[in-house]
Structure 1
Amino acid sequence: MVIKKQNTPMTNRRKNFSGNASKRVASAQILELQSLDKLGPSAASKQKERPRFNPRFNQTKKTGQSQKTRTSNNQKKQNNQSGRPKLYRPTFAPLAVTSNEKTSGGSSLKICPLGGQEEVGRNCTVFEYDDDIIILDMGLQFADEDMPGVDYIIPNVSYLRGKEKNIRGVIFSHGHLDHIGAAPILLEQLGNPPIIGRKLTLAMIKHRQEDYKRGTAKNLKTINIDSIDQKITLGKFQISFFQVEHSIIDAVGIIISTPHGTVIHPGDWTMESDPLDGKPISYEHLSKLPSPRILMMESLGVAYTKERVPVKTTQHNLEMLIDRAKGRVIIGTFASQLERISHLLAYANKIGKKVALDGYGMKMNVKIAQELGYIPAYKNTIIPIENIHKYPADKIIIICTGAQGESNAVFSRIVNGHHRYINIQKSDIVIFSSSVIPGNERSVQKVKDQIYHLSDNVIHSSIMDVHSGGHANVEDIKQILHQIKPDYFIPVYANYYMLVEAKKLALREGFRDDQVFVLDNGNIVKFQKGRKPLLLKEKANTDYVMVDGLGVGDVSEIVLRDRRMMADDGMIVVIATIDAKTGSIIGNPDLISRGFVHMKENRDLIEKTRAKVKAIVKDKNPMTPADDDYIKNKIRNEIGQFLFKATQRRPMVLPVIIKV
């Protein structure tokens, strides 16, 4: 492993992160996306206005396209000219590989996403060059509503089993949980390879490692990205970096250089046209990287056509609300919104107000940022949450977590009256300074409704610009495509329909169909310079690995099915005591109902169920009078059918046989 540092000052680092309004503000934790609208004007009306790409890697001598083929294609285009618009039918398979297609030997670059395709979260991508492997990000995905009891989901790394010694390092683009959340578990499974990231990102990983297993963070092998100009050698991979805008401090774009392709990966990103420091980021220098250039770009906002809210606008509106407040200001946001939190702390310090932070993740992230020098201590501004009653209400700002409606987060505890120190008053201003993560709409709306009962002053993005998103919109994606001019484009980190829309966008912007790959999790694409990229038939296992408490991967689909059944219709336990010799039932069966029916209010059903159990045991197979499995299955099936006929519900039936 070789690390090279250049003496060039890091002009774009923007590291002077003080509390004044001179630095950019963050947007969202993990996954933020504002409401998605339809894409802009149709391809038919825009195609003639836009220049078509002609990257070097598309030339005839490199692609092998013959003059005859080009003539045939041109003839087809001429034949298609008519007054009637054609329905656009792109091919969404990245590359078709037939069984008799010859695959060349020799060295190659392989790219395999283990997560982050077809979904939002669980971001993890494997890059292979001969026997060398590097990994980009190890994120988690929060469980869906139909996964009761599951805390979160992590990437499946079984594809890397037996290759642990070949892993040269794991690179982390930034510190959001959908990029670092699975690191403690996966690093341990893969033999603790070196991890590479910027200061805040590595500090967050270390903290998460300590939460996972106390005393193990010191064992992490870390490589800090001290400068954006730094270069790192990991086996045959040459790694370099570029500046990106995102909603968390120390986000970085990754360049992976190999003889067979240069991968450009911004991680999560956005484009701020008017940043706080007045220096918009341009990606045009990346177009000078060696071909073939492979752009793997997060496309979460590809269908968002509205203009993004500038950070300056968000800051101005928050300051205005704080100035006008006649009571307390309660701001709900993401725990990783460190730049926004820092700005609010600086403004409160300037106007003489006190700030109380609440929420474990938020307080810990601020503490880490203070230790790294990104946020000043503000000893005269930050107060403990238990001291808010010592100051006038109009001098208090509370910044807390829970704007996504999480059941145990601060906002939910406040509105449910379970918070020890905060009760919302009519004069309080309550601000949702966050977007709604897809899937959380119901829980967020529930919290909003409850807060509207308590306060006359509730502010959210639907009525005022109090949040700036951290993901690019469709115009940003167009701009970066034109600036970088990649030879190949792989949209990543989004739901499948967004990946498809990103491909449609690229085709309208002049890319050919075989230049844009829509990959599923587990697909493996092979690149060899001068040859056509291949989608291999081999596919990595990317089944969900669910984490429940301390259990990793021990919750299967069968377990989830049982949990869903109990959540839907409850369960009933049937306890039958049977003579071991004769197989006849002794006494009355005992029944225990949980979540099915209240036994005292349904005596008739319970007595009929007992009688049915007696009849089932009496009608046993005479050849197997003491066969427990036979009796259990018979009780489970017939009692299940009986209860469904009586109630139209299907509780889980658990037979217990006691032999005496």
Structure 2
Amino acid sequence: MEIEIATIGGYEEVGRQMTAVRAGDDIVIFDMGLNLSKVLIHDNIRTEGMHSLDLIDMGAIPDDRIMSDLEGDVQAIVPTHGHLDHIGAISKLAHRYDAPIIASPFTLELVKGELEEEGKFDADNELIAMDPGETTSIGDSGVLDLEFVNVTHSIVDAINPVLHTPEGAVVYGLDKRMDHTPVIGDPIDMERFREIGREGEGVLAYIEDCTNANKKGRTPSESVAREHLRDVLYSMEDYDGGIVATTFSSHIARVKSLIEFARDIGRQPILLGRSMETYSGTAKQIGIDFPSDVEMVGYRQSIEQTFERIMNEGKENFLPVVTGHQGEPRATLTRMGRGETPYELEDGDKVVFSARVIPEPTNEGQRYQAEKLLRMQGARIYDDIHVSGHLCQEGHYEMLDELQPEHVIPAHQNMSGFSGYVDLASNQGYKLGRDLHVTSNGNIIDLV
């Protein structure tokens, strides 16, 4: 059976992930993501009403026109998890393909929200929920199976999809870390990865997220970040001024920890911001282990009214958890720094960043500016209370040992970001141009 892999997006940058695997006459697409920095660099741009071709020209979504070079029919669109760099282009591209969207339950609910908000295209793709650990048949040949392997990441319900073919398995390894003690959900299923590497024809190809491939050591568990956060917030228990926290809205485990520790120190947590309401509301809706009684406020006018209430009742009684950890210009925390909300920051007030800056120039510049603004208001910054959602070098070595893939394809980075992975894969016996394929957007790799 002929096997081809089209590296469509995410092979020259962090963002707009999209990969297609052709096995015989059947094609499976993994991820359709957005490069958010290409959107944020423009003021007041709204992608909902934009045409896909304009977004492709901006570099904001994958250029999927290379799909016409693959001879076969798309049988499934499979997002790995609910981050926008993996699902943010589905509303712009999925309607082009007569194929169902198959995802884990939490991811699928987020995809539904993206499709409902779309203002330009009307996608009627069937939406199919599949749990981690399950397998389904793909295409008409009867020889292809799609399996979801449970992984841990900075969002719940993340999976690594595996396409089982007669020539071996194609493992799409974006995005994950090896967390054996997660705050929410099950640990990463390393036992299943080990089995896949040793059963049948083994692993034909492994496509790997290289975000932290230049970092030595091992990525800590989310439970480490939870204890760090507990220590920071407990140290503020006797402070009688304002405390504000920010983190990734999609990081349900971290938001849950913030809610619990706010209550432990006698403050009422309130989630403020549209994306906070979206992700946490979705988690509650599908029954994820998340506090059911926390207040969520999503829209600008309601946020302003909530801030007025906080100021009237006393900042010392509340802990707002707000959007804006990357310094996004329109996010709640950035507006607080500019003095555009009723919440008055004063000398000594605490701002807790339970997030790191995404290593990309737009984010780094915006975050720097936001922190400057907050400090000008007198705020004290608590930074980097976080652990990454991506493997560092020792995790990559372990995945190669368990899967023993015939071919390896680095993804989710630019060329300099691939360098660490090329070194470690070379140490494991892989060779550039033979079985280690450093590629770019818009290429097709012939494996069989």
- Residues 476 and 307 of structure 1, relative CA distance in 2, 3 Å threshold: closer
Alignment partner for residue 138 of structure 1, among 9, 17, 32? 32
Query: What stretches of structure 2 of length at least 5 have no aligned partner?
Result: 48-54
Distance 1:158 1:215, change over 3 A: closer
Q: How far apart are the structure 2 equivalents of 1:140 and 1:444?
A: 20
Q: Using a 3 Å threshold, how does the CA distance of structure 1 residues 458 and 224 change in structure 2: closer, same or farther?
A: same
Q: Which residue of 2 aligns with 1:458?
A: 381
Match of 1:356 in 2: 270
Counterpart of 1:379 in structure 2 is 293
Q: Hey, what's the Cα distance between the residues in 2 that align with 1:147 and 1:445?
A: 15
C-alpha root-mean-square deviation of aligned residues, in Å? Answer: 2.7
Offset of residue 452 of structure 1:
1.7
1:497-529 per-position Cα deviation (integer Å, ceiling 9, x unaligned): 22243122111123344221111212212232x
Letter of the 2:62 counterpart: P
Q: For the residues of structure 1 that align with 2:366 and 2:116, how far apart are their CA atoms?
A: 30
Distance in 2, Cα, partners of 1:522 & 1:429? 46
TM-score by length of 2: 0.85
> Using a 3 Å threshold, how does the CA distance of structure 1 residues 165 and 222 change in structure 2: closer, same or farther?
farther
Deviations 1:634-660 (A, max 9, x none): xxxxxxxxxxxxxxxxxxxxxxxxxxx
Report the secondary structure of 2:443's partner residue.
coil
**Corresponding residue of 1:194:** 100
Where structure 1 has 5 or more consecutive residues not aligned to the other structure, the ranges are 1-106, 529-660
Q: CA deviation at 1:111?
A: 0.6
SS at match of 1:370: helix
Letter in 1 for 2:381: V
**Separation (CA, whole Å) in 2 of partners of 1:170 and 1:366:** 25
Distance 1:262 1:321, change over 3 A: same
Aligned 8 A contact 2:17 2:86 in 1: yes
Structure 1 Cα separation of the partners of residues 264 and 235 of structure 2: 15
| 1:435 is aligned to 2:356 | yes
**So what's the TM-score if we normalise by structure 1?**
0.59
The structural deviation recorded for 1:220 is 3.8
Decide which moves more: 131-140 or 278-287.
Answer: 278-287
**Alignment correspondent of 2:344:** 423
Aligned to 2:67: 160
CA drift at 1:392:
3.6
Q: Which residue of structure 1 lines up, in the alignment, with residue 219 of structure 2? A: 308
1:481-630 equivalent positions in 2, closer than 5 A: 481-513=400-432, 514-528=434-448
Amino acid at match of 2:353: F
CA distance in 2, matches of 1:500, 1:320: 36
Structure 2 equivalent of residue 365 of structure 1:
279
Offset from partner CA, 1:150-178 (integer Å, 9 cap, x none) = 76611112233498982111011000001
What residue number does 1:551 align with? none
Structure 1 CA distance, aligned partners of 2:264 and 2:118? 39
Compared with structure 1, are the counterparts of its residues 163 and 188 closer, same or farther at alpha carbon in structure 2 (3 Å cutoff)? farther
1:228 maps to what in 2? 133
User: What amino acid maps onto 1:205 in structure 2?
Assistant: V
Q: Distance in 2 between matches of 1:380 and 1:286?
A: 41
Task: Give 1:318's match in structure 2, choosing from 220, 223, 229.
Answer: 229
Structure 2 residue 268 is the aligned partner of structure 1 residue 345:
no
Once the two structures are superposed, residues 76-130 of structure 1 have per-residue CA deviations (whole angstroms, 9 ceiling, x without a partner) of xxxxxxxxxxxxxxxxxxxxxxxxxxxxxxx401111111111111100111123
Classify the secondary structure of the residue corresponding to 1:524. strand
Residue 295, structure 1, aligned to residue 206, structure 2: yes
Asked whether the 8 Å contact 1:244–1:266 carries over to 2, the reply is no
Report deviation, 1:456. Answer: 4.8
Aligned length: 415
Query: Alignment partner of 1:291: what SS?
Result: coil
Deviation at 1:410, TM superposition (A): 1.1
Query: Amino acid of the residue matched to residue 340 of structure 1?
Result: R
State, as a whole percentage, how many aligned pairs show the same letter.
25
Question: Which residue of 2 is the match for residue 103 of structure 1?
Answer: none
Amino acid at match of 2:138: T
Q: Which residue of 2 aligns with 1:286?
A: 196
Residue 190 to residue 415, structure 1, CA distance change in 2 (3 Å): same
SS in 2 for 1:248: coil
TM alignment of 1:167-178, pairs within 5 A: 167-178=74-85
* Alpha carbons of structure 1 residues 381 and 221: separation in structure 2 relative to 1, 3 Å: closer
User: Residue 458 of structure 1: CA displacement?
Assistant: 1.3
